[in-house]
Chains A and B, each alone.
Chain A
Amino acid sequence: MTVPAKRAIGLGTWVAVGIGLLVIIFGAVFASRFGRDPDLVASPMIGRAAPAVAMPYLEKAGDMSLADLRGDIVVVNFWASWCTGCRTEHDALLTAAAAYAGSDVTFVGILHQDRPDTGIGFLDDFGRGDPYDYVVDEGSRVGIGFGVLGLPQTFFLDRAGTIVGQVNGPVSYGMLANTLDAILLGRTVDPVTETGDLENR
């Protein structure tokens, strides 16, 4: 008769090895994401038409829609007075607006999730762009339409009103200039650039 000479690899061993491998795989995946903001994903907005919603001007009567600006290259910047990154990038936006004023580039600052009076106070303190359209995002309709996840966020529209670029976080003058030059020259643009974390109220 035969008697087993030695124990074979038991189910428990396989389960233990499987759990060990799972722990390693999950651990590696989690570890690799530590430095990444989980809220930032590839933007679904690139290649889509900008939302055409009427927005009242911040400091004058009347309203405008991004659809009115077809034919121009448009920089759409979402900002608020409570957003510290918006202060960081403010000078870069004003400088770029002045530098590209003669190149059919329009800058639109959309006050998002903020009251008009505090927004005006911010412009009093930090200065206004010239030329620059400041408008109010009433009911956050435009921000929601752009999929805004926090401030500051900046979008670039080509002459057809299509969203071709997006910056999450504060923009620098160099970044604005490079992107606008690329659009003016008909080159492709980096679709999404992340420069910092997005702030929320």
Chain B
Amino acid sequence: MSRRVSNYLYLGAIVALLAVVVVGLIPRDVTGETDAERAHRIASELRCPFCSGESIAEAQSSIGNDLRALIDEQIASGLSDDEIFDYYVSVYTERVLLSPPLLGWGLLLWALPLLLLSAGLYAVLRRRRRADPVAAVASAAALEDAKRAVAQDLADLDAQAAAGELDPATLARLRADYESERDALNEAVIEPAPHAPRSRGRTMAGAAVLIGGALVLTVGVVLTVRDRTPGDLITGGVASEAQRLDFSTISDEELEATVAANPESIPMRLALAARYFNAGDFSTALDHYIEVLNRERHPEALANVGWMTFQSGDSDSALQFVEQSLALSDELPLPYWYLANIRYRGYDDAAGAVAPLETLLTFEALPDDFRAIVSDLLSEVRAAS
């Protein structure tokens, strides 16, 4: 297939794709729609203000139902589409519109692809029109070669004429051909490069801008990025409940109800599971820990599940859970306690229990009575090993 034909094919494909997009964007015929269709169309053009990117038409939450009911009412009361959109913009700002408006920043958003496309087209056309410096260098060399070849042809012709090898008519024709070729070559001029070579100062300035920008970016990112807490959005949309709520003031029933109402809240569920765990209600604690582990591999949940597994007599699985917990975090004291006990009592490995107990004693926040128990066990395993 020739290059020309394939170019046309590409162009055709692009035009076809653009046509599909444009046709898709043309507002459909809105006459003759029922109130329900109209409500659905309006709801699908409005962002549910707190349903993570869903439109009001898609939102399954109860606020979504309330918003749809309100749109139905607004339609029934005879408001126009614009009046309804204006109402939601007035309370939720323009962010509520799923298609940005053709004004202000919205206009820039719409125009950006067109601007980029035009810039690209301009760059391509400009590049094609301008002589390519590499090609120019290549043609300069070729020009020199061609000139040398013509000069050689003329010299050969003179030699042949002197030797009387050619008849005068042929001689005159060839000489005219060679000379016109030589004149044409002598008149050919290679375009100079369109830009002067870059000056040292400009190079340095460009490098300084790039390095300075990179520095600003790096410093900015380092200063503003923070650790992501469990259940947190990267933008900080959800704070960890643990920072705000003192679970100790809440009754078991209340905490149970709150966890049931917020099944995704890991800190609250962990607090509840820990209550059952500490009270010795392992089967209820296990249910909550499994709910936690289904959402996140949390070190506290892994360690306590390991301990309950150990209590039920399965040392192998218990060891795995506790080791996974320690692999995730070395900041909790209890996994070290569990590890030492599982090694010592589950595997008769007194020597293996020494290191975790020593690590455990380095935790400053241990209650004194627990610290005494840990020290006693450490003496015991040291004696046994």
| A positions within 8 Å CB-CB of B | 1-9, 11, 15, 17, 20-21, 24, 27-28, 31-39, 41, 44-45, 81-82, 84-85, 87-88, 113, 121, 125, 139-141, 143-147, 149-150, 170, 196-201
Contacts and interface: CB of A to CB of B under 8 A. Distances in A.
Contacts of B67: 140, 144
B236 A17 contact: no
Given A84-B258, A201-B62, 20 more contacts: A4-B193, A8-B133, A8-B197, A9-B195, A11-B123, A24-B213, A31-B220, A31-B221, A34-B221, A34-B234, A35-B236, A36-B235, A44-B91, A45-B91, A84-B268, A87-B245, A113-B62, A125-B254, A149-B49, A200-B61
Given A8-B196, A11-B123, A38-B235, A17 B220 contact: no
Nearest to A48: B90
A150 B192 CA distance: 66
A35 B196 contact: no
Contacts of A197: 236-239
B24 interface: no
Given A2-B189, A11-B123, A147-B92, A28 B220 contact: yes
A136 B194 CA distance: 75
A53 to B, nearest CB: 11
B284 interface: no
B169 interface: no
B109 interface: no
B220 A32 contact: yes
Contacts of B188: 1
Contact-size category for B: 35 or more
Contact of B226 (A17, A35, A37, A145): A35
A2 B137 CA distance: 10
Contact of A6 (B70, B95, B193): B193
Given A35-B236, A144-B67, A149-B49, A7 B193 contact: yes
B189 A1 contact: yes
Closest 10 CB pairs of A and B: A8-B195, A4-B193, A147-B91, A140-B66, A24-B213, A6-B197, A31-B221, A3-B140, A82-B261, A31-B220
Nearest to A29: B220
A31 B244 contact: no
Contacts of A21: 209, 213
Contacts of A200: 50-51, 61, 63
Given A17-B206, A44-B90, A34 B235 contact: yes
A17 B210 contact: yes
Contacts of B195: 8-9
B356 to A, nearest CB: 36
B224 A31 contact: yes
A176 B134 CA distance: 73
A39 to B, nearest CB: 7
Instruction: Determine which residue in A2, A143, A145 has the highest number of CB atoms from chain B within 10 A of its CB, and name it.
Output: A2
17 contacts: A1-B190, A2-B192, A3-B136, A8-B133, A11-B123, A11-B127, A24-B214, A27-B217, A28-B217, A33-B224, A34-B221, A34-B234, A36-B235, A84-B241, A84-B262, A87-B245, A197-B238
B133 A4 contact: yes
Contacts of A45: 91
Contact of B193 (A8, A141, A144): A8
A31 B133 contact: no
B143 A5 contact: no
Nearest to A122: B254
B50 A150 contact: yes
B3 interface: no
B216 interface: yes
A9 B195 CA distance: 7
A24 B216 contact: yes
B263 to A, nearest CB: 11
B123 A145 contact: no
Contacts of A146: 91
Contacts of A143: 63
Interface string B164-194: 0000000000000000000000001110111
A118 to B, nearest CB: 8
A199 to B, nearest CB: 8
Contacts of A7: 133-134, 193, 197
A37 B235 contact: yes
A35 B224 contact: yes
Contact of B91 (A11, A38, A121, A144): A144
A11 B126 contact: yes
A44 B49 CA distance: 14
B76 interface: no
A87 B213 CA distance: 45
B245 to A, nearest CB: 5
